Amino acid sequence: MSGARFTPAQRRILVALATAVVAVFGLLGYTVYTTLQQPLQFPSPLTPTSVSFLPSPTPSTTVTLPTTLPQPSPTPTPQRTPSPPLSQIQSARAVREIGRIVAEARELPPVEQIPVTFPTEHEVAVSLLKTYQQEPPQVDLGLYAVLGVTPHLDPLPLPDVAAQAQHISSLYLPDGRQILLVAGRGPANVEDEWALVHALAHALQDQAFGLGELQPCRATTDSALALRALIEGDAVLTTARYAELEGEEALEHLGRMAADAEEPTYAPLAGDPLFQRLRAFPYVEGARWAAALYKEGGWRAVDQAYGLVPCSTEQILHPERYLNREPPQITTLPALTDTLGSGWSLVREDTLGEWLLGLHLVAHLDDEARAWDAVEGWAGDLFTWWQSETGEEVIVWRTLWDDRDEAEQFEQAYQLLVPRFRTPPLLTAENIYRLPGRLWEGTAGAAYVERTGRIVTVVWGPNAETVVRVAHALP
């Protein structure tokens, strides 16, 4: 049988069909090729993954990523389907790209390799517990209680790591210089994004300034708080600049968010307003301080602060005093071992600074504005806390002020505090001991306040006899 023959018209149709098939396959091949050349696209770069914890950090993969964050559609469709969680690789890529944007906002070189780990919330809580067992933060609660800023808690509570872990979505871990992303959170929101930015800001600080090598200018609580205010305030301000947020309300909101994630909390103090202010100080007041430096000289002024760290909470509360290089002045107290006798030991010797002294007044005065006005002229202090074998306590707190007027203003405010500090209240006692200051006593103990020039000294004790003996021993 002879082969089939086609008419000229049929041959033209076959040639056209073959040409169309070749064109379709060519277009399909080009589409596949160009898709493989493009970066991996995902709905939100911040969606945490719901994957198992990795025993060792997983370094992010170097990829080409978009130069800007995905923007929401101006006309979102109703009943939008939630975005699926990202894989570990996608999350690591998102961290890397956001890190570049944060570095640009902070005007520092980006961190090229940022390992990322993905623990669960429970694993974060366990890790926090181990950390707090090594360096128990609750020991400071005793100091706060002695100042009357928080209630006495006996025994001291353990940090509520479960409550803290609930506030954590991202953290920077100095060990290994890695970013932690909590797994299983579901789709990310804008506050999760800000938390990641705060963590990445710490990574930038660590690379540029070596956070582990920074030391407070003095070995005091006051100086340590000032250094933390530099670090945390810088990170909060970086977050605000990234998010294009301005104003003190925005800084306070971002600061309290960061404090909830990074600071220990305690169930008995969950609703205590002064304790919450204590926790938030490095973040909120630190951000205001960093913003003042930024306004003065941009990020360069903030960078320079790492070479000359702030020495006191006074410099944080009053940025102009840092810019004018007004360091705290040193004051001294004599040893009271012989005066108090055997059985007494020194629990703490420290400079507490304007911030803690101010909160001490705020806790017991009805007028908060007057409390802060009374401590505005702070120039230095030395706080000593003694305890006997039977549990009795003696506090000697010598404060130094900018001038006599500032000292007198503090003295007058503190004299209002004394009768309210102990329960039942102390009453003014007749001064038969030839002391130049003022004495109070009652069943709850005794107190003495004396001003000499620009120095104001406060003594608290279990009874008038002990307080008078200490007051006579002070130069």
| Tokens 């780990």 belong to residue | 117
Rounded CA separation 30/431 (Å): 98
Tokens of 33: 């090729």
Q: pLDDT band at 72, cuts 50/70/90?
A: very low
Rounded CA separation 460/427 (Å): 13
**Between these two residues, 209 and 433, which has the higher pLDDT value?**
209
Tokens of 455: 């120095």
Rounded CA separation 432/419 (Å): 20
Q: pLDDT band at 71, cuts 50/70/90?
A: very low
Strand partners, 445: 442
**337-473: which CATH topology?**
Protein Transport Mog1p; Chain A (3.40.1000)
| Tokens 């370094």 belong to residue | 59
Q: pLDDT band at 187, cuts 50/70/90?
A: low
Could you give the angle at which helices 273-305 and 221-243 cross, rounded to 10 degrees? 80
Instruction: Specify the pTM.
Output: 0.82
pLDDT per residue over 409-464, tens digit each? Answer: 999 999 999 999 999 999 999 888 889 999 999 999 999 999 999 999 999 999 99
* Residue 57: pLDDT over 70: no
pLDDT per residue over 353-363, tens digit each? Answer: 999 999 999 99
Q: pLDDT band at 184, cuts 50/70/90?
A: confident
Q: pLDDT band at 85, cuts 50/70/90?
A: low
The pLDDT value recorded for residue 432 is: 86
Triad 257, 231, 221: Cα angle to 5°: 95
Percent above pLDDT 70 for the chain: 81
Closest CA to 234 of 295, 288, 191, 173: 288
* pLDDT mean over 188-206: 94
Domain ranges in the chain are: 88-323, 337-473
* Residues in contact with 259: Cβ distance below 8 Å, sequence separation at least 6, in sequence order: 279, 280, 282, 283, 284
pLDDT per residue over 217-247, tens digit each? Answer: 999 999 999 999 999 999 999 999 999 999 9
Identify the helix (H) or strand (E) that includes residue 463: none
pLDDT per residue over 114-168, tens digit each? Answer: 999 999 999 999 999 999 999 999 999 999 999 999 999 999 999 999 999 999 9
The pLDDT value recorded for residue 89 is: 78
Q: pLDDT band at 275, cuts 50/70/90?
A: very high
| Tokens 């800000």 belong to residue | 194
* Residue 265: pLDDT over 90: yes
| Tokens 């070479």 belong to residue | 307
Strand partners, 180: 117, 171
Q: pLDDT band at 189, cuts 50/70/90?
A: confident
* Residues in contact with 13: Cβ distance below 8 Å, sequence separation at least 6, in sequence order: none
Closest CA to 335 of 401, 245, 294, 396: 396
Percent above pLDDT 90 for the chain: 77
